[in-house]
Amino acid sequence: MTKSSVGVWSLIGNTPVLPLYFAESDQTIWVKCEFMNPSGSIKDRIAAYIIEDAERRGILKPDSIIVECSSGNTGIAFAMVGVAKGYRVQILLSEGASFERRWLIRQLGGEVVLFDSDGNYTTGINITRQMAENDPRIFLPRQFENELNVEDHLTTTGQEILKQVEGPIGLFVSGYGTGGTLAGVGKALKTANPNCKVWAMEPAEAAILDDEMPCCHRIEGVADGFMPDLMKYAPVDGHTKVSSNDALAMTKRLGREFGLLVGTSSGANVVAALRVAQEQKVEGAIVTILCDRAERYYSTALFRETACEDKKANLS
């Protein structure tokens, strides 16, 4: 159903890396700027990769409906790529997702179906499966279990990092939502350097890797209340916990000190990378991901302080 062989999906990938120096720990963190993808997040990659694979295999038809459960970024990405290619796209979004995520999906031509996740996205995933059973037109990307997710990051994101970062890479740190980035990039970097350490970041309030009961946190896009199937492919050497408050503080710092307007998971990744670099003996470059742009967080705690400052300025 592709209207053209070239479209917005052609702009995905080949995002730059940037070295950030932190004087207090004398550490340089190389950040992969995935927020520079066209819809504003790393999820653009898997949306295009999965849709184009389904097109090649003849699974997607002119009347197909792409349906996915998402915490936001994947839904935005599938709306962007799917609608641009001529498909109808429905995204199941948690009622707790920021309003901006709903608006962006709708602005891109996607349809939003809200559900009550209660902090666990298995509810939405089960709803999409029921929908597919009742409607043969529905195509499920299944981001949490689709191995193409890992393959995409292994063959694109990971290879780009290897070309862009100077010298051997000694540490890669990333949060996990589906586990695809951690698994794919981790495999790519360990293949190039078996001594490279791969570390998972997760919210302190939802430390599933520590077998703790997950509860609400403010790092949207990671730790969706269950352990995704794709994490079994991630060559993880260890994990570290980052509190929502620490993630928010670093995200604000990335904007005010480095000029990088990114989301809370990006701040959490940087906190984790700095922490692991201090705790572990790392030989080589330290790499993490800046996952998404800040505009989908305007109504969240990330911008609450800025909004208060603005109100005070107007009153003075």
Q: Looking at the annotation, which residues are catalytic?
A: 43, 265
- Are residues 269 and 176 in contact, defined by beta-carbon separation less than 8 angstroms? no
- Biggest distance spanned by C-alpha atoms of the chain: 62
Distance CA 209, CA 203 (A): 10
The token pair at 169 is: 């890479």
The token pair at 3 is: 């209207």
Q: Cα dist. 93→45, 75, 117, 123, 204 in Å?
A: 19, 8, 9, 11, 23
Site of tokens 């309003």: 99
Site of tokens 């302080």: 305
Q: Please enumerate in sequence order all residues whose Cβ is within 8 A of that of 32, keeping only pairs 6 or more positions apart, or say none.
A: 15, 17, 157, 160, 161, 164, 287, 288, 289, 290
Distance CA 37, CA 11 (A): 7
